[in-house]
């Protein structure tokens, strides 16, 4: 987008704000307080001169909430949780008989959100003073924390757009509005840090990571001073350990395919000892734009438009380079010693899997997802038992990132098609419904592998050329690719697998069949 278009947008937003501001004033919404935010280090570009004033004239803060800053202790937790004043009507929101729009509800609204609405912010706006964020820096202090919260203590210090928790931020809003959670709740981070050390690796500072925060797992450790000063900063990555129980692994132990070693395979029930992690997306927009070879301003415009205009700061704050999009994250499962992942002298088996809830969880037989995932887990376990390590990376990209509704529309179109559900028409049916056959765009996928310090994968459990090309293109070596074993392909899943092989998926040398002759189950087979 060129500068004049951007200025036009800014002007339009400003005038909207003026109109709204007048309406708000007429409704006498919200008492305005002076800013008494705690002293917090910042990029130091602008003096903190926030004043009381109307909407659009600066950021406004409520001193009652600021006075409730709690203590941060050495173990990485608050010694006392911030409390909502006992007079807060939010506590009674659920039981209240107040009618929507009534004065009672106005009072509740004022208590929850004492400041006037800040629809958006602008660079250089009075009070806006983001904490410095140097993406790609080698240490957490040089890099600076990702700060996205709109809490009164933090709003003007934010250096990122969006919200923590991805799509779950909407449920958090519900919890607040019904009175189940104080709006100023802060997490108690005591004992929440990972049990293992991950990084820092050279890859963290080489623009190889643009879609997650490499320091997102040690926020409480690295930025205790800022937390103590009252900023609402949250981790975007958590690491823990667990035991896993899967019926297929239990059967593999029963029939001798997997041996109990007491360490990685704990018992005859096939319990697996794993380290697991959860990663929320954190996009560094210049890097994401570069990865997809598009202009950053255009990317911002597209993100703004296709999310119903949800994040105006994508347009009004070109100085904020980090965005936490409301999309699904990544789960990581590590088999064997986690430190082996970054050691190229150790054997590593890995599968990168995209969510297919129908198959992964509910056992639907129309595709190969769960069987291939299970095969990947089995191979990972064997690698750990043979002195190496295994890794499953599970992305929440349901239905090739088109969503489950689209996927099931496609299934209907496949099963009702004249001539039946054939492999030659497999991708066309998705494209007809969704407009694109695949929206996973694997370009960002290798980031998590670089975060784990991986430079070589010995056995890659996938046939996808898109996954392979993205990983190898990002500088990670793949030694061998492992197709799904023939006997694990469900009958109805054959349409998908043959279509994929014809589209360029790795088949291990298997010749393609006549695709029009590869047919799936027709609906008449199903009794209802
Ligand atoms: N839109 C759409 N998505 C599908 C269909 N069948 C499967 N999927 C989705 O396709 C994705 C398959 O991902 P993976 O299991 O990682 O497999 P892959 O990327 O095809 O390649 P492999 O690694 O070789 O298994 C999942 O997100 C499924 O939900 C379909 O007919 N339409
Ligand atoms: Zn599937």
**Domain range annotation of the chain:** 40-83+97-228+285-324, 277-284+325-523
Q: Which residues contact 39 (CB under 8 A, 6 or more apart)?
A: 229
Provide the residues around ligand 2 (an ion) whose CB is within 5 A.
356, 359, 367, 369
Ligand 2 centroid to residue 523 C-alpha, Å? 18
E strands, 110-261, where? 160-162, 237-244
Reply yes or no on whether 301 is catalytic: no
Angstrom CA distances, 226 to 24, 40, 282, 284, 345, stand at 33, 7, 20, 22, 40
Ligand 2 centroid to residue 363 C-alpha, Å? 9
Ligand 2 centroid to residue 486 C-alpha, Å? 16
Q: Which of 76, 217, 236 is nearest to 147 (CA)?
A: 236
Correct CATH for 277-284+325-523 of 3.10.20.30, 3.40.50.2300, 3.40.50.10990, 3.30.70.3040: 3.40.50.10990
What predicted TM-score, i.e. pTM, was given to this entire model? 0.83
If you search the block for the tokens 């090739």, which residue do you land on? 400
pLDDT below 70 — which residues of the chain? Answer: 1-9, 11-12, 15-101, 511-512, 524-528
Q: Which atom of ligand 1 is nearest to the CA of 400?
A: 27
Q: Which atom of ligand 1 is nearest to the CA of 369?
A: 15
Q: Within 13 Å, how many C-alpha atoms sit on residue 503's CB side?
A: 18
By the 8 A CB rule, do 517 and 392 touch? no
Probe ligand 1: pick from 327, 328, 330, 354, max atoms within 8 Å of CB?
354
Nearest-angstrom CA–CA distance, 61 and 33? 6
Q: Which H/E stretch holds residue 336?
A: none
Catalytic residue among 440, 447, 459, 492: 440
What pLDDT sits at residue 420? 87
b or e along 128-157 (b: 16 or more beta carbons within 10 Å of the residue's beta carbon)?
Answer: bbbbebebbbeebeebbbbbbbebbbbbbb
Probe ligand 1: pick from 356, 363, 365, max atoms within 8 Å of CB?
356
Q: Which residues contact 136 (CB under 8 A, 6 or more apart)?
A: 143, 204, 205, 206, 207
ipTM score: 0.96
Nearest-angstrom CA–CA distance, 253 and 390? 18
Nearest-angstrom CA–CA distance, 157 and 40? 8
Residue nearest to atom 8 of ligand 1 (CA): 399
Residue nearest to atom 18 of ligand 1 (CA): 464
**Checking DSSP bridges between strand 348-354 and strand 330-335, what pairing results, if any?**
unpaired
b or e along 28-58 (b: 16 or more beta carbons within 10 Å of the residue's beta carbon)?
Answer: ebbeebebebeebebeeebeeebeeeebbbb
Ligand 1 centroid to residue 356 C-alpha, Å? 7
**CA 345: distance to chain centroid?**
31
Nearest-angstrom CA–CA distance, 149 and 51? 21
- Which tokens in the block code for residue 515? 């695709």
E strands, 28-181, where? 72-73, 77-78, 160-162
DSSP reduced 3-state for 163: coil
What pLDDT sits at residue 498? 87
Ligand 2 centroid to residue 450 C-alpha, Å? 26
DSSP reduced 3-state for 330: strand
Residue nearest to atom 30 of ligand 1 (CA): 407
Nearest-angstrom CA–CA distance, 272 and 262? 9
Q: Which residues contact 331 (CB under 8 A, 6 or more apart)?
A: 276, 277, 278, 279, 393, 394, 396
DSSP reduced 3-state for 213: coil
Catalytic residue among 438, 447, 458, 492: 438
Q: Which residues contact 474 (CB under 8 A, 6 or more apart)?
A: 208, 446, 449, 450
Helix and strand element counts for the chain (H, E): 19, 12
By the 8 A CB rule, do 182 and 82 touch? yes
Ligand 1 centroid to residue 113 C-alpha, Å? 43
Probe ligand 1: pick from 379, 407, 478, 495, max atoms within 8 Å of CB?
407
Ligand 2 centroid to residue 464 C-alpha, Å? 13
Q: Which atom of ligand 1 is nearest to the CA of 496?
A: 6
Q: Which atom of ligand 1 is nearest to the CA of 433?
A: 1
What pLDDT sits at residue 449? 98
What pLDDT sits at residue 299? 98
Reply yes or no on whether 438 is catalytic: yes
Residue nearest to atom 25 of ligand 1 (CA): 462
What pLDDT sits at residue 74? 34
Q: Within 13 Å, how many C-alpha atoms sit on residue 318's CB side?
A: 13
- Planar angle of CA 277, 280, 285, nearest 5 degrees: 140
Using CA atoms in the order 217, 476, 376, 212, what is the torsion angle rounded to 10 degrees? 30
Ligand 1 shell residues, CB under 6 Å = 353-356, 367, 369, 372, 397-400, 402, 406-407, 410, 430, 462-464, 467, 496, 500, 505
């Amino acid at each position: 987008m060129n500068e004049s278009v951007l200025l036009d947008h800014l002007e339009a937003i400003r005038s909207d704000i003026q109109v709204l501001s007048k309406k708000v004033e007429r409704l006498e919404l919200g008492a305005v307080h002076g800013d008494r935010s705690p002293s917090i280090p910042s990029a130091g570009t602008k003096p903190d001169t926030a004043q009381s004033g109307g909407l659009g004239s600066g950021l406004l803060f409520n001193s009652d909430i600021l006075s409730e800053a709690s203590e941060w202790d050495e173990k990485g937790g608050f010694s006392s949780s911030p409390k909502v004043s006992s007079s807060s009507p939010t506590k009674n929101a659920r039981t209240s008989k107040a009618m929507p729009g009534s004065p009672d509800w106005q009072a509740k609204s004022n208590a929850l959100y004492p400041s006037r609405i800040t629809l958006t912010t602008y660079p250089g706006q009075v009070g806006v003073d983001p904490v410095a964020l140097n993406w790609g820096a080698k240490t957490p202090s040089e890099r600076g924390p990702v700060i996205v919260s709109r809490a009164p203590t933090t709003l003007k210090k934010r250096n990122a757009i969006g919200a923590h928790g991805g799509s779950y931020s909407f449920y958090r809003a519900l919890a607040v509005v019904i009175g189940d959670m104080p709006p100023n709740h802060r997490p108690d981070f005591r004992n929440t840090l990972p049990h293992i050390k991950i990084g820092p690796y050279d890859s963290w500072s080489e623009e190889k990571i643009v879609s997650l925060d490499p320091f997102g797992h040690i926020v409480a450790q690295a930025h205790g001073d800022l937390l103590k000063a009252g900023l609402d900063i949250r981790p975007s990555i958590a690491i823990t350990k667990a035991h896993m129980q899967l019926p297929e692994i239990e059967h593999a132990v029963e029939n001798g395919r997997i041996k109990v070693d007491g360490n990685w395979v704990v018992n005859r029930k096939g319990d697996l000892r794993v380290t697991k992690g959860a990663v929320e997306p954190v996009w560094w927009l210049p890097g994401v734009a570069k990865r997809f070879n598009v202009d950053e301003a255009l990317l911002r415009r597209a993100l703004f438009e296709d999310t119903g205009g949800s994040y105006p700061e994508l347009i009004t704050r070109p100085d904020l380079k980090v965005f936490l999009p409301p999309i699904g994250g990544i789960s990581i499962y590590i088999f064997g010693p986690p430190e082996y992942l970054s050691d190229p002298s150790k054997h590593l088996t890995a599968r990168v899997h995209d969510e297919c809830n129908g198959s992964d969880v509910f056992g639907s037989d129309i595709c190969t997802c769960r069987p291939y995932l299970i095969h990947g887990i089995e191979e990972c376990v064997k690698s750990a038992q043979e002195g190496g390590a295994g890794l499953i990376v599970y992305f929440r990209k349901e239905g090739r990132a088109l969503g489950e509704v689209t996927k099931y529309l496609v299934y209907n179109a496949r099963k009702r098609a004249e001539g039946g559900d054939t492999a030659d028409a497999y991708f066309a049916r998705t494209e007809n419904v969704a407009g694109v056959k695949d929206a996973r765009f694997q370009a960002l996928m290798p980031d998590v592998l670089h975060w784990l310090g991986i430079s070589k994968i010995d056995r890659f459990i996938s046939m996808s050329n898109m996954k392979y090309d993205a990983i190898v293109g990002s500088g990670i070596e793949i030694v061998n690719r492992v197709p799904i074993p023939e006997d694990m392909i469900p009958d109805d899943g054959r349409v998908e697998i043959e279509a994929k092989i014809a589209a360029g998926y790795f088949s291990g040398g298997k010749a393609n069949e006549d695709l029009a002759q590869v047919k799936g189950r027709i609906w008449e087979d199903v009794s209802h």
